[in-house]
Amino acid sequence: MAKTAGEPDTDFGYRRVPMRDKQALVDEVFDRVAQRYDLMNDLMSGGLHRAWKDALVTAVNPPARERPFTLIDVAGGTGDIAFRVIGTGGANTQATVCDINAEMLSIGRERAEERGLAKQLSFIEGNAEALPFKDKHYDAYTIAFGIRNVPRIEAALAEAHRVLKPGSRFLCLEFSTVDVPGLDLAYHFYSFNVIPALGRAVTGNGEAYRYLVESIRRFPRPQSFADLISAAGFKRVSFRLLSGGIVALHSGWRL
């Protein structure tokens, strides 16, 4: 699609593309890998993604008693985070999974039915930059390994702030920058050589995983991302590095 004069560009991996084209390109990536997305997470991280997600759920801290608790999990189409939060919370814990990718949502719905959790979960197709939910509705907002794929990160953060109740929490789990000497070089080699090859072998699409690796490198460093969260109106913003900086868990409060 031809670019119009004055249209802003954005990153798609190491490529620059028109802002309006990025979402369609990201959708194409996830359409190609949806069926084996969770399997690839296990293989790529050696199972570490489970510990990172456990840290996220611990931070969410859903009430184990009967008090109502509502979660919105954005870009979580297969339901992994939502299942964990519901498993930790009480019977009145409800989760809404919002994802722009219909194929990922379909997988999530099937899994919810298989686990008998359909009454506590809803799967809604929607854009993180314009959530189809009312103001001040949720007790927690989570997004795991998804915000770097959003074309307008600032818009997504503003929407997160809008849909959260006062006193509720924003939590974002995202790949970060490894700063440990030696580990950084090994991680770079693994990312750009092993992961695309693994993706090609398991999903038949190595290029999709090369994009995902490149998108990690283009994402803001932890303090810069924390500044964006603060600019969206969140207070007491903080972050914690996990596994030598491979992943960062960011937190902000809607006060």
Per-residue model confidence (pLDDT) at position 13: 44
Per-residue model confidence (pLDDT) at position 200: 78
CATH number at residue 235: 3.40.50.150
User: Does a structural domain hold residue 67?
Assistant: yes
C-alpha distances (whole Å) from 96 to each of 9, 31, 151, 215 are 31, 21, 22, 26
User: Does a structural domain hold residue 4?
Assistant: no
Per-residue model confidence (pLDDT) at position 1: 39
CB 13 within 8 A of CB 210: yes
Contact partners, residue 251, CB within 8 Å, separation at least 6: 59, 169, 170, 171, 172, 236, 237, 238, 239, 240
| Residue-by-residue pLDDT tens, the chain, 255 positions | 344 445 565 544 444 545 555 555 555 655 555 566 666 666 767 778 889 999 999 999 999 888 999 999 999 988 999 999 999 998 999 999 999 988 889 999 999 999 999 999 999 999 999 999 999 999 999 999 999 888 899 999 999 999 999 999 999 999 898 878 788 788 778 777 877 777 777 777 667 777 777 888 888 999 999 999 999 999 999 999 999 998 999 999 999
Angstrom distance (rounded) from CA 242 to CA 140: 21
Burial class (CB in 10 A: 0-12, 13-18, 19+), 204: exposed
User: Does a structural domain hold residue 129?
Assistant: yes
Per-residue model confidence (pLDDT) at position 142: 98
Per-residue model confidence (pLDDT) at position 198: 77
C-alpha distances (whole Å) from 190 to each of 194, 200, 213, 214 are 5, 14, 10, 13
User: Does a structural domain hold residue 79?
Assistant: yes
Range of the domain at 121: 26-178+215-254
Per-residue model confidence (pLDDT) at position 41: 67
User: Does a structural domain hold residue 13?
Assistant: no
User: Does a structural domain hold residue 149?
Assistant: yes
User: Does a structural domain hold residue 239?
Assistant: yes
| Tally of domains within the chain | 1
User: Does a structural domain hold residue 164?
Assistant: yes
